[in-house]
């Protein structure tokens, strides 16, 4: 008689906009998908107020008028490349406010939602998917876009609320994810290593390292280094699928893949909450989870 195999591990990435799943942690995603991990991408907004960042498309009237639908199609292509499931939470893009003073955010946008209330939508997805590991941005959003900060807010709230049976009972049985991580991919050590290797090969880097010690790109918070250099090409293909959001000749692709793989072959994270024992530094988002029974439920 055939015995059922172990239940698959499950990973959830919570992102603000379509394209964020491809610019942050996409090689990690591809690595885990190849290993049989079930991966769910949650996209909080539709990117309706995003700028067209590809200069080749910036003045295309069809792109400008139909940006919301085009970004949905781009997301579908990236989702297929990465091999993930994906859900839209349905919030409205806040846009990136610019000016001095900053203008108010548009009425009804994601950035103005009450995060405790808005987290309810994510609680439902968490309880349905039952992730063992959840990733999102740090408290500053990785960079100060209001949707990224709000994405952080609702993810932290939903991580807690999904485990509390007294909250959102209409969204199904409580589920406690085991670990919560913040993306820390853009940091001083990575930039410095790639810049040094570029110079050794006679190339000029177009990705200057951050310089502020209090910058959210600071490497002092990194706990976890996931070796995924073999999947950098998948990351780049997924990123190029978001054609309105990326310049194929721009700095995102300025460092050759072989230099990235040799100079910094990991994607990096900060472990914020762990319900299982682990040891820092880690090389696996599932450290501490591969040796414990996870089913029928992992509720702490």
Binding residues for Zn(2+): 17, 20, 148
Query: Which residues are known binding-site members?
Result: 17, 20, 148
- Check if the beta carbon of residue 184 is closer than 8 Å to that of residue 198: no
Round to whole Å and give the CA distance between 34 and 54: 30
Residues 6+ apart with CB under 8 A from 132: 9, 10, 11, 177, 178, 179, 286, 289, 294, 298
Phi-psi region of 172 (alpha: psi -120 to 50; beta: other; left: phi over 0): left
Round to whole Å and give the CA distance between 151 and 156: 9
Residues 6+ apart with CB under 8 A from 102: none
Q: Which residue has the tokens 């609680």?
A: 123
Round to whole Å and give the CA distance between 132 and 280: 18
Count of beta carbons in the 10 Å neighbourhood of residue 166: 7
Q: How long a stretch of residues is the chain? A: 300
Round to whole Å and give the CA distance between 231 and 102: 39
Least Cα distance to 10 among 195, 179, 216, 142 occurs for: 179
């Amino acid at each position: 008689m055939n015995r059922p195999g172990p239940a698959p591990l499950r990973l959830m990435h919570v992102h603000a906009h379509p394209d964020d799943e491809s610019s942050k942690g996409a090689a990690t995603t591809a690595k885990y998908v190849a290993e049989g991990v079930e991966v769910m991408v949650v996209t909080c907004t539709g990117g309706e107020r995003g700028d067209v960042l590809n200069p080749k498309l910036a003045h295309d009237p069809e792109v400008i008028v139909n940006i919301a639908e085009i970004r949905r199609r781009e997301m579908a292509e990236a989702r297929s490349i990465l091999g993930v499931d994906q859900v839209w939470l349905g919030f409205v893009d806040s846009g990136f406010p610019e000016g001095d003073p900053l203008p108010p955010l548009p009425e009804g946008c994601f950035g103005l939602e009450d995060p405790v209330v808005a987290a309810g939508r994510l609680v439902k997805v968490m309880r349905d998917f039952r992730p063992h590991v959840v990733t999102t941005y740090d408290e500053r959003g990785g960079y100060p876009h209001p949707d990224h900060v709000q994405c952080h807010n609702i993810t932290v709230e939903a991580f807690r609320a999904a485990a509390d049976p007294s909250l959102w009972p209409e969204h199904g049985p409580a589920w406690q994810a085991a670990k919560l991580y913040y993306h820390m991919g853009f940091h001083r050590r990575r930039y410095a290593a790639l810049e040094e290797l570029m110079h050794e090969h006679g190339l000029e880097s177009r990705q200057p390292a951050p310089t502020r010690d209090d910058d959210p790109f600071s490497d002092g918070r990194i706990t976890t280094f996931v070796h995924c250099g073999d999947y950098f090409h998948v990351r780049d293909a997924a990123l190029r699928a978001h054609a309105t959001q990326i310049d194929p000749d721009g700095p995102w692709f300025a460092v050759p893949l072989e230099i990235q793989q040799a100079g910094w072959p990991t994607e990096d994270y900060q472990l914020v909450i762990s319900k299982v024992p682990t040891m820092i530094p880690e090389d696996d988002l599932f450290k501490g989870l591969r040796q414990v029974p996870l089913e029928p439920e992992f509720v702490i």
